[in-house]
Copies of this chain bind each other. A is one copy, B any other.
Amino acid sequence: MSKLKFKVVPGAIVAPKGFLTSGVFCDIKRLGTGKGSNKGPKRDLALIVSEVPASVAGMFTTNQICAAPVKVCAERVKRGVAQAVVINSGNANACTGKQGMKDARAMTALTAKQLHMTEEHVFVASTGRIGVTMPMEQVRAGIVAAERLLNREHTSADHAAEAIMTSDTRPKQIAIEFKLGGKTVLIGGMCKGAGMIQPGMSATGARPAALPQGLHATMLCFITTDAAIEAKALQACLREAVANSFNRITVDADMSTNDTVLVLANGLAGNAECGVRSAELKTFQAALQHVCLELAKMIVRDGEGVHRVVTVRVEGAKTIQDADAAARAVANSALVKTSWHGGDPNWGRIIDALGYSAATVVEDKVDIGYSAPGSRKILWSLKRGQPTKATFKQLCAAAAPKEFDLHIRLNLGQAAALMYAADLTEAYVDYNKGDVTDPTTLGG
């Protein structure tokens, strides 16, 4: 990962030149009164608009059950041009058949009409309950209202970030500034996601030939930049950025039908356009990855019921596939996750999960240790398969902070992988069991 430093600036998705946004309430989220529901009106529809047509890149869920808006975006992203995105929460428009496809397209057509732009340049994303057709009357009213409120004020970015939330407890936004080809360039982003989180996204939504083990949130992420980047170069940067950020997080190992990341690059910074062979591309890629990783970590920290965030760092695996499988097995083990919740440095459960993973693991080679986030000062609990002299009290202290790193060395090869993971708490269960007497509490 790049060690470049980026200056954090306010404004999120409207920080870059030429982007406008708004977020409104149009009654897609029903006004539930029960546990876990949104008490009172909460914004549920957002628009993001570029003053000029922008290059676009996207990454989408590889779930075979894929929502209508994802299908529309995966098709349109191929042309490489976008100017607006319409997003709603409260309804995922997934498993809604032909009507769902009609509704997703109608959302883009309506937005295009309001904004006087080409329909194919409008993208769409949805999140919420699965299997319910979109309340199009409300959506239409929402788009009209949102178009009237479009502006470049930071409060509008806050409204948009709120409008895409479902079980999120807080909005997730960032913007950074850096130099590209002598020009000041900005990247802004917002995202949502709290449950159904273990994204495995590809550029087309098509599954890779060999499916990595455990590829599995609705997470939505929208990134704006005023950099001038060719669509193909933008897509290459995004693919790598997502591989090292959103595709490395897990809350509950469930991959959503709606996962979507979109980047619009409108070129208003005035740098010379970066193509796939541009020397500037590395800098842009590092900046984009920084934005994606910061947003991805916000998702894990705000995961449903999450109390502790653990970075699982596997080193010394035979192959990259082994490293990934080992990290995901530990990050998704119910027993490991509950022990994290209890602050219990239970290496027995960790080595058990390593042992049943698809990775090659040899008991008397395995090291397991703890450190502060990003620190190389590791307290080892296990060395070469044998308990160290670290005391139970010392290990408990290492597993007590809200965030820590778990270091696993398989000592069989050179491959490494990491996962940003979360504990499993009573609050997660309570939230997701919902309340059948109040269907507004039953998440997608």
Contacts and interface: CB of A to CB of B under 8 A. Distances in A.
Contacts of A444: 348-349, 352
Contacts of A341: 429, 433
A75 interface: no
A255 interface: yes
A424 B429 contact: yes
A403 B103 CA distance: 38
A338 B347 CA distance: 26
A356 B215 contact: yes
A253 B354 CA distance: 13
A interface residue count range (under 10 / 10 to 19 / 20 to 34 / 35 or more):
35 or more
Contact of A254 (B130, B255, B349): B349
Contacts of A351: 65, 95, 130-131, 257
Interface in A62-92: 62-66, 92
Given A196-B335, A363-B95, A434-B339, A129 B348 contact: yes
A145 interface: no
Interface stretch (A104-112, A276-284, A435-443): A435-443
Interface stretch (A3-11, A44-52, A287-295, A385-393): A385-393
A118 interface: no
Contacts of A355: 63-66, 255, 257
A103 to B, nearest CB: 15
A252 interface: yes
A364 interface: yes
Contacts of A204: none
A218 to B, nearest CB: 9
| SS class, residues of chain A in contact with chain B | loop
Contact of A426 (B66, B94, B335, B429): B429
A430 interface: yes
Contacts of A347: 131
A211 B429 contact: no
A344 B434 contact: yes
Contacts of A21: none
A342 interface: yes
Contacts of A385: 95, 97
A396 interface: yes
Given A64-B360, A356-B215, A254 B344 contact: no
Contacts of A360: 64
A333 interface: yes
A349 B97 CA distance: 16
Contacts of A352: 63, 65, 94, 130, 196, 254-257, 444
Nearest to A92: B348
B131 A348 contact: yes
A432 B257 contact: no
B436 A426 contact: no
A361 interface: yes
Given A129-B348, A352-B257, A252 B335 contact: yes
Nearest to A433: B342
Given A348-B130, A358-B211, A363-B95, A429 B425 contact: yes
A178 interface: no
Interface string A346-376: 1111011111101011111000000000000
24 contacts: A64-B354, A65-B351, A65-B352, A65-B354, A65-B363, A95-B363, A97-B364, A130-B348, A131-B348, A131-B351, A131-B387, A252-B335, A254-B333, A254-B356, A257-B355, A338-B428, A338-B432, A341-B429, A342-B434, A342-B436, A342-B442, A346-B442, A396-B436, A426-B430
